Structure 1
Amino acid sequence: MTTQQAPARVAIVTGGSGGIGSAAALALAARGTAVVVHYAGSAERAGKVVAAITAAGGRAVAAPGDVAEPADMAALFDAAEEHFGGVDVVVNTAGVMLLGPVAEMDLDTFDRMHRVNVRGTFVVSQLAARRLRPGGALINVSTSVTRLQQPGYAAYAASKGAVEAMTLVLARELRGRDVTVNTVAPGPTATPLFLEGKPQEVIDRLAAASPLERLGTPEDIARTITHLAGPDGRWTNGQVLYVNGGIA
């Protein structure tokens, strides 16, 4: 008597060419998941992620798109279905961080960030709610800054607070679908997005704030993402997981 092997799971990782996104794509692929590596600006970086996955024996393709445009994201889900047969996991890492005091922030900057972080998350979450297969998982990405009240971060924290609210409600709206919805909220993590423009003394101070006395790594965050995406994370649903080494 032969035992049929379960079909491989399929993941879409938005922002898959970025620091946390690429680490998540690689970690999911290492567990046997086929990955669609989404990118908005850098086809070259996305191609490198795909090349690393395929070199290790995994399956991956890169696909472009604006996360805030429904047609682009529908095409992304179509690509996953055409290449791999469906979608089981969506990891929504795409986002921008633009900082400044409330009194000084230009509203065009505010709108640009909220278009990506809030509208983009909503568009991708809406498609995930419609198209994830039973047993699926949607994993959004927020930030521990929502709990830290750091000056200069109000607009960014507001955008990620919206992500958390959407996550908690959507998890309840998908009752009966066997789909989990969670948010991972990293603390200071050594990604290009985080490190850009920060003096070394600021980076050192943020690293020292954690009881573990270091910055997080993209791989630290990816390990939590892969847990939520896999069978061991099925009983975690409708939660915000603060992955920050104890900073908050």
Structure 2
Amino acid sequence: MGMTVSLAGKVALVTGGSRGIGRAVVERLTSDGARVVFTYHSAEAEATKLAEETGAEPVRCDQADLDTLPAIFAPVRDGLDILVNNAGIAFARPIAEITVDDFDRLLTINTKFPTFAIRTAIPLLRDGGRIINLSSINTALPSPGAGLYSASKAALEQITRVASRELGPRRITVNTVSPGATDTDMLRSVNTPEGLDRAVTFTALQRLGTPADVAAVIAFLAGPDAAWITGQNLHAGGGYVI
């Protein structure tokens, strides 16, 4: 028997696809048979290489600027089945030190842009489509310095839940995936080696996650077997939060 390609004929848009979890999502969705368009910001070489390896289509995007939204949806204007809002930024800043610019930048990139990406996607999504938003374990485990980051993701979680109600009549599911400690450039940029070691000890499965671990959960939500799951936040963290 041949391999079943679960997403054959589906069209997906993945934001922040050139590195980390987003890259793994592009690799997984293309291997599952989807046509994938993905965005990148500055990692042009990585984006080009990924496109060559997978056949996915890269589009440059700056999530700090909502005017870039039309360009990223142009390749899928004939119809979309899966939107993965993955792109985001993180930095640690105690509340006593945050600036207005910090707030505006983080909330725009992590919350405002994904929200308007959903709005832009709604008329393009076919009935039975999928929206998957990336959050963070930080919304369940508040930690010093993560105030703005946690707030940006918590807001997106609420948008997800409301969208699941609004789009449910069209059988469009809307879910959140919250990765745990996942071994990416972003994780290493905001944690010390000692912090990463601690994360492993906190994790029930006793290791850091890989981008492919998280991509597998996203692929499940994007696929036919997850049609009865909506409005949920799946913690893909190996038991970091239980």
Q: TM-score range by the shorter chain?
A: over 0.9
Task: Report if aligned partners of 2:164, 2:175 keep a CA contact under 8 Å in 1.
Answer: yes
Task: Report if aligned partners of 2:21, 2:214 keep a CA contact under 8 Å in 1.
Answer: yes
State the partner residue of 1:12.
Answer: 13
Q: Any idea what SS the aligned residue of 1:238 has?
A: coil
State the partner residue of 2:3.
Answer: none
**AA partner of residue 175 (structure 1):** G
State the partner residue of 2:46.
Answer: 45
- Cα distance per residue 1:15-67 (max 9 Å; x no partner): 0112010000000000000100211222211111111113xxxxx21111223
State the partner residue of 1:214.
Answer: 207
Aligned length: 235
Q: Distance in 1 between matches of 2:193 and 2:73?
A: 40
TM-score (structure 1 length as normaliser): 0.90
Q: 2:89 aligns with which of 82, 87, 96?
A: 96
Q: 1:198: Cα distance to partner?
A: 2.8
TM-score (structure 2 length as normaliser): 0.92
Q: CA RMSD in A?
A: 1.5
Alignment of 1:157-196 (within 5 A): 157-196=150-189
Q: Any idea what SS the aligned residue of 2:80 has?
A: coil
**AA partner of residue 222 (structure 2):** A
Gaps of 5+ in 2: 1-6
Q: 1:73 aligns with which of 59, 69, 75?
A: 69
Q: Distance in 1 between matches of 2:63 and 2:171?
A: 25
Alignment of 1:90-239 (within 5 A): 90-239=83-232
Gaps of 5+ in 1: 1-5, 55-59
State the partner residue of 1:61.
Answer: 57
Q: Distance in 1 between matches of 2:86 and 2:130?
A: 14
Q: 1:243: Cα distance to partner?
A: 0.9
Q: Any idea what SS the aligned residue of 2:28 has?
A: helix
87-96 vs 69-78, which moves further: 69-78
Q: Distance in 1 between matches of 2:235 and 2:19?
A: 20
Task: Report if aligned partners of 1:69, 1:123 keep a CA contact under 8 Å in 2.
Answer: no
Q: Any idea what SS the aligned residue of 2:126 has?
A: coil
**AA partner of residue 169 (structure 2):** G
Task: Report if aligned partners of 2:8, 2:33 keep a CA contact under 8 Å in 1.
Answer: no
Q: 1:11: Cα distance to partner?
A: 0.5
State the partner residue of 1:3.
Answer: none
Q: Distance in 1 between matches of 2:115 and 2:49?
A: 28
Q: Distance in 1 between matches of 2:172 and 2:66?
A: 21
Task: Report if aligned partners of 2:64, 2:105 keep a CA contact under 8 Å in 1.
Answer: no
**AA partner of residue 48 (structure 1):** K
Task: Report if aligned partners of 2:161, 2:231 keep a CA contact under 8 Å in 1.
Answer: yes
Q: Distance in 1 between matches of 2:123 and 2:178?
A: 24
**AA partner of residue 35 (structure 1):** V
Q: 1:102: Cα distance to partner?
A: 0.8
Q: Distance in 2 between matches of 1:95 and 1:70?
A: 14
Q: 1:74: Cα distance to partner?
A: 2.1
State the partner residue of 2:4.
Answer: none
Task: Report if aligned partners of 1:66, 1:72 keep a CA contact under 8 Å in 2.
Answer: yes
Task: Report if aligned partners of 2:139, 2:153 keep a CA contact under 8 Å in 1.
Answer: yes
* 1:46/1:33 CA distance change after superposition, 3 Å: same
**AA partner of residue 42 (structure 2):** G
Q: Any idea what SS the aligned residue of 1:110 has?
A: helix
